[in-house]
Chain A
């Protein structure tokens, strides 16, 4: 069986504008492979093709790309997911393209930095460690698993239009992870940092983030909780 891959190509040093290039890959009938494996084979055909990858098992979050219009991780997406014999591969949308499928995620990381992704505790340092009950720890489930692949934030129109002001689904998922952590004492200052018209409230709950998250997380729900927290301290 021959599969056709239409791949977004753009090398700013050489090309005046981006273009789509078709590649054909022969896949043995009755077998399957991940999109990343297909891309690696395509790179054997054309060594100039650029894309990011690392762990190749859905843990590092390096190979977030757009496949047939939907963001996801190339390493855990089987080519059999897609109907038909043609698969369109593009970089994550809304981000500046460095080359081919490699995007510049500076803005994404700046938003992550903004939410102070670390525990802040101004209480007296305990002799051993900050203890947490199993119930308190359970609050972090569904939040800490984010691998920061940027699939969610780059699927969010609010993040496309205001990447400098709207924190984005991934950043807000992390923000809630620290807001809800029983060991963190900076809840008030964290909420104050988010209390403006853009940082959180640009989320209109369209749930693109939930639809594309390769880890099955729910940033919209976390954002809803942050909105409730902001609302409770305001009224």
Chain B
């Protein structure tokens, strides 16, 4: 059996489930946002701020940000293990990516909860 310590999930099945679950959340979030923008034309700053100031939208956005982190973490791990055979280089790239993704998550939380 091959191990995958650098991926997000504990096993291949775990990665598989996480990828799909996070994909569903991201799809729902995207469809909702596109629908909202389409239905609230002309979109003003007040409408946009009003949307993000509600608790359900803050929670939905947080869920989408976490889903994005998980989805991208697993996806990038898969791409790197395909195309970067050098273990040291792959480790460095994975570290840079994960730190960046976590920073985006932290920034996203601060911004959304600041509205």
Contact = CB atoms under 8 A, between A and B. Distances in A.
A196 B12 contact: yes
Contacts, number: 51
A198 B13 contact: no
Interface of A: 157-158, 161-162, 165, 192-193, 195-202, 227, 230-231, 234-235
Interface in B60-83: 78, 81-83
B25 to A, nearest CB: 18
The interface centre, meaning the residue of B4, B14, B82 with most chain A CB atoms within 10 A of its CB, is B82
Contact of B12 (A162, A193, A201, A235): A201
A202 B9 CA distance: 14
Interface string B2-18: 11100101011111110
B1 A193 contact: yes
A197 B82 contact: no
A195 B11 contact: yes
A231 B16 CA distance: 9
For the complex, would chain B's binding face be called helix, strand, loop or mixed by DSSP majority? helix
Interface residues of B, number: 17
B12 A230 contact: yes
A234 B13 contact: yes
Contact of B2 (A198, A230, A231, A234): A198
Interface of B: 1-4, 7, 9, 11-17, 78, 81-83
A195 B14 CA distance: 10
A93 to B, nearest CB: 15
A144 B106 CA distance: 52
Contacts of B9: 197
19 contacts: A158-B82, A162-B81, A193-B1, A195-B13, A196-B1, A196-B11, A197-B2, A197-B4, A197-B9, A197-B11, A198-B4, A199-B1, A199-B12, A201-B12, A202-B78, A230-B12, A231-B13, A231-B16, A235-B17
